[in-house]
Amino acid sequence: MAITAALVKQLRDQTGAGMMDAKKALTENDGDIEAATDWLRTKGLAKAAKKSGRTAAEGLVAVAAADGVGVAVEVNSETDFVARNGEFQEMVGAIAKTALGVSDIEALKAADMGGKSVADTVTDKVATIGENMSVRRMSRVEGDVVASYIHNAVVDGMGKIGVLVALTGSDKAAAEAIGKQVAMHIAATNPASLDVSDLDPALVEREKNVLTEQARESGKPDAVIEKMIVGRMNKFYQEVCLLKQTFVINPDLTVEKAVAEAGADLKVVAYARVEVGEGIEKEEEDFAAEVAKTMGG
């Protein structure tokens, strides 16, 4: 029987399977819709696809570092129960190690992990664990030393917030020590950029416009207003730029000065902060409903 586009669409609509999976199912079953549906279910593909519409805003961030490269990977699940599942955690840890060898999220999804792509591995876990999951994003930094920190760790190397700090400098032990402290600082303060030059120009312009309007309401002369804006923008930079922030571990120093005191040639060159579910609009669901879903109710 000819496998038409209309037949593929019908199967996709019924099962939620991907186009190529639907086409293969029909080919394997001579165009029989019911048999193809059962084939997809047997392979776990229909089950995984049906769950793909659910919001996956929980999960874990895992960090890994080796040879001056650090990665932080966010893998989402629907509930925090799954984030505490040992099978899920093992998969997330393996994905983070795989990420050390790639440059971006698409390459990570396609990367081989034990004879199967990362994307296919996650699809298989969706079918066996029974929740929608996704490898949402990864961050990568490089330096002479990469320090890492996990906030709210559930197991070693993974938790709800993962931070990486890349440093250059000759004293690697000192870089590791101050890097860990800076990573903890970043977890707490969530800076917008490394320094002023890295700030999003749109963010700077928006802040400047707000401060200008506020200053004009004071009724002071333009020359005074200009000085007010300069002072207020400098304060803004101190609040949102990592190197200019007051170091939470020693408030007498900025982060930049704390790093300099740790080693004469030490310098933070990059950082990444990844928090589970950041930017995802999660559907509100009461705790009882979440438990019922987890228990299959």
Domain assignment of residue 35, given as a range = 5-51
pLDDT tier for residue 145 given thresholds of 50, 70 and 90: very high
The H or E element containing residue 87 is helix 86-99
Residue 261 within any structural domain of the chain = no
> Do 178 and 88 belong together in one domain?
yes
Region 206-235 average pLDDT: 87
What's residue 294's pLDDT? 47
How many domains, in total, are found in the chain? Answer: 3
> Do 207 and 79 belong together in one domain?
no
Which CATH number fits the domain that encloses residue 20? 1.10.8.10
Q: Does residue 39 have a pLDDT over 80?
A: no
Residue 147 within any structural domain of the chain = yes
Q: How many Cα atoms are found within 13 Å in the side-chain-facing hemisphere of 235?
A: 9
Q: How far lies 19's CA from each of 4, 6, 37, in Å? A: 12, 11, 13
Please state at what angle helix 5-15 crosses helix 19-28, rounded to 10 degrees.
Answer: 110
| Weakest mean pLDDT among 30-39, 194-203, 239-248, 257-266 | 30-39
pLDDT in tens, 15-26: 777 778 888 889
> Do 138 and 177 belong together in one domain?
yes
> Do 277 and 234 belong together in one domain?
no
Residue 250 within any structural domain of the chain = yes
Bridge partners (DSSP) of residue 112 are: 117
Residue 128 within any structural domain of the chain = yes
Distance CA 88, CA 58 (A): 12
> Do 177 and 288 belong together in one domain?
yes
Residue 263 within any structural domain of the chain = no
Which CATH number fits the domain that encloses residue 124? 3.30.479.20
pLDDT tier for residue 130 given thresholds of 50, 70 and 90: confident
If one counts every other C-beta atom within 10 angstroms of the C-beta of residue 21, the result is 23
Region 122-141 average pLDDT: 91
> Do 248 and 287 belong together in one domain?
no
Question: 74 versus 225: which is more confidently predicted?
Answer: 74
> Do 89 and 223 belong together in one domain?
no
Entry pTM:
0.75
Residue 264 within any structural domain of the chain = no
Residue 95 within any structural domain of the chain = yes
> Do 131 and 152 belong together in one domain?
yes
Q: 147, 134, 175: which is closest to 277 by C-alpha?
A: 134
> Do 136 and 275 belong together in one domain?
yes
> Do 206 and 104 belong together in one domain?
no
- Maximal C-alpha separation, the chain: 83
> Do 66 and 150 belong together in one domain?
yes
> Do 144 and 66 belong together in one domain?
yes
Q: Does residue 54 have a pLDDT over 60?
A: no
Region 289-293 average pLDDT: 53
